[in-house]
Chain A
Amino acid sequence: MEDKNKQLDNLLNEAEDLRKNIGNRLHDDLTEGIYVDAAKIVGDSVYTKDKKRAFRMDRAIDNIVTSRIWGFPIMLLLLGIVLWITIIGANYPSRMLSTLLIDIVYPFLKGVGESLHFPVWLSGILIDGVYLATAWVVAVMLPPMAIFFPLFTLLEDFGYLPRVAFNLDNLFRKAGAHGKQALTMSMGFGCNAAGVVATRIIDSPRERLIAIITNNFSLCNGRWPTQILIATIFIGAVVPEGLSHIVATGSVIGIAVLGIGFTFLVSWFLSKTMLKGEASFFVLELPPYRPPRIWQTIYTSIIDRTLVVLGRAVMFAAPAGAVIWLISNIDIEGQSIAVWAINAFDPFALFIGLNGVILLAYIVAIPANEIVIPTILMLTVLSINSITGGSGAGVLFDGNEPEVANILHAGGWTLLTGINLMLFSLLHNPCSTTIYTIYKETGSVKWTTVATVLPIIMGFIVCFLVTQLWHLFA
Chain B
Amino acid sequence: MRGRRAPLALAVVLLTTFVACSTKRSPSIVDPKGSEAHTIAGVWWLMFGLATAVYVIVGGFIIVAAVRGRGTKEGRPSRVRDNTFVWVGGIIVPAVILVVLGAATVHASNSLRKPETNPLRIEVVGKRWWWAVSYPDQKFDTANEVHIPVGRPIEIGLDSDNVIHSFWVPQLGGKVDLIPGQHNVWRFKATKEGTFRGECAEYCGLEHAKMNFLVVAQSAASFDTWALRHQQPQSEPASQLAANGQVVFMRAPCAGCHTIRGTTAHGTIGPDLTDIGSRLTLGANTVPNTEGYLSGWIVNSQTIKPGNLMPPIPLSSNDLQALVAYLRSLK
Decide whether A and B are members of one complex: no
User: Residues of B at under 8 Å CB distance from A?
Assistant: none
